[in-house]
Amino acid sequence: MTVDDLPEGKPPKPLSEVLARVLRGMKVSDESKAMGLFSHWPNIVGDSVAEHVTPKRLEKRVLTVEVDDPAWATQLKFLEAQLLSTLKDHIGDEVDSLNIKVRRSR
């Protein structure tokens, strides 16, 4: 696709502008920190956790994560305080609690 292939009307917006608007809608206080949470997730939580746990949504200081197995949901409940402390070290006070969901198998 080239610029000539785009529909007429408004020009496309930069991705950073679109992401900033989405993050404002999620009510995060520091957009750059919130973007860092999603883009640097494996660095924050470690590769072994990141293989099984995916951040899905951050809204009103509640981070919704999706796990690939019910056992990981149980494990995260035990690790929640530690994970929240690690998140605070990396992104500040953006996350107060976790909402853990198990990914549906297809």
Per the listing, tokens 């993050």 go with: 23
How far, in Å, CA of 95 to CA of 106, rounded? 30
Cα 4 from chain centroid (whole Å): 34
User: In residues, how long is the chain?
Assistant: 106
∠ Cα 94 26 30 (to 5°): 40
Averaged over 6-21, what is the pLDDT? 68
8 three-class SS? coil
**CATH number for region 29-102:** 3.30.300
pLDDT tens-place string over residues 22-57: 655 555 555 556 677 888 899 999 999 999 999 998
Q: Where are the domains of the chain?
A: 29-102
pLDDT tens-place string over residues 62-102: 999 999 999 999 999 999 999 999 999 988 888 999 999 99
User: pTM for this one?
Assistant: 0.69
Q: Give the pLDDT score at 44.
A: 92
